[in-house]
A and B are shown apart, each in its own frame.
Chain A
Amino acid sequence: MLELKNLSFQVETENGKKDILKNINLTLNDNELVVITGPNGSGKSTLAKIIMGIEKQTSGQILFNGIDISDYSITERARLGFGFALQQPVRFKGITVKDLIMLASQNKELTVDKACAYLSEVGLCANEYINREVNASLSGGELKRIEIATVLARQTALSIFDEPEAGIDLWSFNNLIDVFQRIHDKHEGSILIISHQERILNVADRIIVVAGGEVQSSGTHEEIMPELMRRADGCGCSLKRGKK
């Protein structure tokens, strides 16, 4: 469904042009759960942002269900069925959690009960949060869970999560893994997760390792994990071990 062809991204620096992503080629199939992992600074988050249209590739093509969406705006991609959970969510003065979930769902009929159900899924007590403003009174972890709830509410064909584990507690993290698995089991869309977390890697259909702006390897959990674990043990790679 999603196909990246020769995708590259460069930035201007004081020392000239720097390659952040180099000729990325990859495909994400319908209802597939793919985790992109790799060291810090390898270009994973940039890749996710390019897929959502937040950053624009320097060259290459993005195809979605056969349509070239390389020049589509964020809005156009969102309307095609892309959802995106930011690594560092944004605060809004005056906009409540309920407002945000209602906007995300684009369903005027969405009941408060259903909106609350999305919050419960990410481990938040719905009654406590539904009418709160998405402002500075919320902690980073609370904000992160609300961000993930907005993507769940969208029920999109492709949901992208940029480091969903960052900033959330262990209890919510367990719920989060369940949420990913539930979406996956119900075939409710494809999921692309940027993560360093071993437990998230464990639920992936496919793991893609990005390093130095390039796809280094791609394969199933069984194919990729041994190599990743060797690197983690050997050279202090950023892979985070989680309790099973």
Chain B
Amino acid sequence: MMDQNEKNILKIVADMDEVPTGTAYNIRSNCGCSGRNSTENIKIENKTDKPGIDIIVKPGTKNEVVMIPVVITESGVEDLVYNDFFIGEDTDITIIAGCGIHNCGDNKSQHDGIHTFYLKKNARVKYIEKHYGEADGRGENVLNPVTVINMDEDSYMEMDTVQIKGVDSTTRDTQATLKDNATLIVKEKLLTDGVQYAKTDFVINLDGENCSTHVVSRSVAKGESKQYFVSNVIGNNKCMGHTECDAIIMDNAIVHAKPEIVANHIDASLIHEAAIGKIAGEQIMKLMTLGLTEEEAQQQIVNGFLK
């Protein structure tokens, strides 16, 4: 039976009001499984050699959703979990992950989720991941997701990853390898405040002919927070790659951005862009002419930027 804090977190990270019916899901709560359902096409099984689950999607599965949220409501928890996704050929599915921590005490609570994807030929996946933290005490909320993506020919994956707020420290590591005609789209949105720390690191190997990637990170750093963005797109074949980091810096925050592209093939077409800047005075002024205060204008600009 879930308590109110768990329910609130589930709503925020997975938009779950209640336990879904007819959908594949696994709810991990305070290092244990508090609910699971497999469907005819999507099987969820415990790993036998380490903590975590295997999610196996049958070839040909279309328009199905699998939800695997993680909730931590205790202080002093250290949770490490390995989730592997085996996505069969000719599939089209949505995976909703995400982790939320309600830290009720003064000890650090941490969740490290290692997610490995194996997309077979012509598989299509939309992967949505939200991270969120809140606290009653002084305990830190730490989330260190690792995402490893292996994409076979003609597969497509779109990864929407959002750190909403309240995560004191995060190291986000994403590695991908793409075969012929595979496409990977990554959209990352991050907000840090106070003395929070966020490091995000992408390494995308474009191995296959005509494969492509588009990695876009938008972030807002407030207060005394620190952000590090590193992205490396490596073109090993005729391919297209684009990586972009766009950050708004506020107060006394620090943002490092290091986009890197490596062409190991004459037909690799790669672009990187990075921009860091404060909110433009003209933007605030324009919204003030619409009746917003300076603070409301800033909030509106940040909300829009991270929307």
* Residues in chain A within 8 A of chain B (CB atoms): 52, 54, 73-75, 78-79, 82-84, 86, 89-90, 92-96, 99-100, 103-104, 106, 150, 154
Contacts and interface: CB of A to CB of B under 8 A. Distances in A.
Given A75-B292, A75-B294, A93-B246, A103 B305 contact: no
Contact of A78 (B288, B300, B301, B304): B288
Interface in B275-307: 280, 282-283, 285-294, 300-301, 303-307
A79 B286 contact: no
Chief secondary structure at chain A's binding surface: mixed
Contact of A75 (B218, B283, B288): B288
Nearest to B305: A94
A86 B304 contact: no
A150 B291 CA distance: 12
Contacts of B293: 75
A79 B290 CA distance: 8
Contacts of B292: 75, 78, 103
Contacts of A95: 300-301, 304
Chief secondary structure at chain B's binding surface: helix
A84 to B, nearest CB: 4
A54 B287 CA distance: 12
Given A106-B290, A106-B291, 14 more contacts: A52-B289, A74-B285, A74-B289, A75-B291, A78-B289, A78-B292, A79-B291, A86-B282, A92-B301, A95-B301, A95-B304, A96-B304, A99-B304, A150-B290
A103 B307 contact: no
B290 A78 contact: yes
Given A75-B291, A94-B306, A106-B291, A89 B286 contact: yes
A93 B217 CA distance: 13
Which one of B218, B246, B304, B305 has the greatest number of beta carbons of chain A within 10 Å?
B304
B230 to A, nearest CB: 22
A64 to B, nearest CB: 15
A103 B280 contact: no
A95 B299 CA distance: 12
The 5 tightest CB contacts between A and B, nearest first, are: A94-B304, A95-B304, A74-B288, A78-B291, A94-B305
Nearest to A106: B291
